[in-house]
Amino acid sequence: MDCADIINLMTITEQRSINLRGKTIAYQLKESTRSTRVRITVSQNGVTLVIPVGFPPRQAESFLLRNGDWVLQQLEKHQERAAKAQRNTLPPDVILYEGTPLQVVVVEEMQRKSRSRVDAADGRLIVRVPVGAAAAVPAGLETYLRGKAKQKIESEVISQAQRMRVRPSSIIIRDQKTRWGSCSSRGTLSFNWRLIMVPPAVLQYVVVHELAHLVEPNHSSDFWSVVARYFPACKEARSWLRRNAGLLHPQVLQER
């Protein structure tokens, strides 16, 4: 590729602003050799007005003005999403436990040689590690939470299975990437260990949901009737999971 080819592929960008319905909006004006028409894009990074080479900027600005309502609507949507994402986060040292935010406190102990230990006290989770071993906190905390999840989930399955008069063949605690639970054709129930972070009622919903598959193996209307019979607030629980899924991957569990 020679210099002429490189120039032909170049996009010239200019920072500008415009008044849309009384609001001053910054935007990028891009003159692109690849563009054959005027177009507007709105993303979390702002507004971009793309024009073909040689297209009069004033005409492009008129096009932007004519579409001002749409641009403002899109900007508002991105702002709402950003605000929602900001709200739907936890401080770096906080984790949910059965729906309650708990502070994670790391204590380095001289006498501790290798294994970490987690204690729950006064609304906190205290992670004790050897001196200089703060990097072991996420793994130690996850091991503790997995153990608690196993106890809680198995107890809930036994209780709900008796109430629903079904018999799962086995229970597995896993770390599914996109599921909270599943039910195999052989009656094996698998649950995500991160359910230890959700409120007890939401955990109960997930358990009832998977047990209902032992009655109705699909997601038909009959299946949802079974779920609603044993957990009437299923819509609220599903909504909680959708809204707060991001909280179940807290910073404190990320590798340091």
Q: What tens digit of pLDDT does each residue of 109-118 get?
A: 888 887 889 9
Domain ends where: 31, 55, 87?
87
Residue 12, SS3 per DSSP: strand
> Are residue 192 and residue 101 in the same domain, yes or no?
yes
> Are residue 123 and residue 234 in the same domain, yes or no?
yes
Domain ends where: 87, 118, 148?
87
User: DSSP E strands: which ranges in 116-240?
Assistant: 117-121, 124-130, 170-174, 181-183, 188-192
User: What's the average model confidence in pLDDT over 78-86?
Assistant: 67
One-letter amino acid of 21: R
- Token pair, residue 153, equals 């989930």
- Token pair, residue 214, equals 């032992």
> Are residue 98 and residue 83 in the same domain, yes or no?
no
> Are residue 55 and residue 101 in the same domain, yes or no?
no
> Are residue 81 and residue 165 in the same domain, yes or no?
no
Check which CATH number belongs to the domain holding 152 and give it: 3.30.2010.10
> Are residue 114 and residue 209 in the same domain, yes or no?
yes
Domain ends where: 35, 58, 87?
87
84-93, 175-184, 217-226 — which is least confidently predicted? 84-93
Query: Does position 87 have pLDDT exceeding 60, yes or no?
Result: no
> Are residue 123 and residue 243 in the same domain, yes or no?
yes
Q: Which residues pair with 253 in a beta bridge?
A: none
Contacts of 231 (CB under 8 A, 6+ apart): 204, 205, 208, 209, 237
User: What's the average model confidence in pLDDT over 221-240?
Assistant: 95
The length of the chain, given as a count of residues: 256
> Are residue 76 and residue 32 in the same domain, yes or no?
yes
Task: Give the residue from 217, 180, 216, 182 showing the smallest Cα distance to 196.
Answer: 180
> Are residue 230 and residue 122 in the same domain, yes or no?
yes
- Token pair, residue 167, equals 């018999």
Task: Give the residue from 91, 92, 97, 90 showing the smallest Cα distance to 118.
Answer: 97
User: DSSP E strands: which ranges in the chain?
Assistant: 11-20, 23-32, 39-43, 46-52, 94-97, 100-109, 117-121, 124-130, 170-174, 181-183, 188-192
- Number of domains the chain is built from: 2
> Are residue 53 and residue 114 in the same domain, yes or no?
no
Q: What pLDDT is stored for residue 7 in this prediction?
A: 40
Rounded distance, CA 80 to CA 9, Å? 36
Higher pLDDT, 160 or 123: 160
The pLDDT-based confidence of 84 (bands split at 50, 70, 90) is low
- Residue 16 domain boundaries: 3-87
> Are residue 72 and residue 102 in the same domain, yes or no?
no
- Determine how many CB atoms are found less than 10 A away from the CB of residue 44: 10
- Token pair, residue 204, equals 């109960």
This model's pTM is above 0.75: no
User: What's the average model confidence in pLDDT over 10-23?
Assistant: 83
Rounded distance, CA 59 to CA 25, Å? 17
Residue 49, SS3 per DSSP: strand
Query: Does position 9 have pLDDT exceeding 60, yes or no?
Result: no
| 100-109 vs 94-97, strand pairing mode | antiparallel
CA angle 113, 91, 46 (to 5 degrees): 135
On average, the pLDDT of the chain sits at 89
Rounded distance, CA 243 to CA 87, Å? 11
CA R_g for the chain: 27
Query: Does position 211 have pLDDT exceeding 70, yes or no?
Result: yes
> Are residue 209 and residue 129 in the same domain, yes or no?
yes
Q: Residue 60 to residues 16, 35, 74, 178: CA-CA distances in angstroms?
A: 12, 13, 19, 44
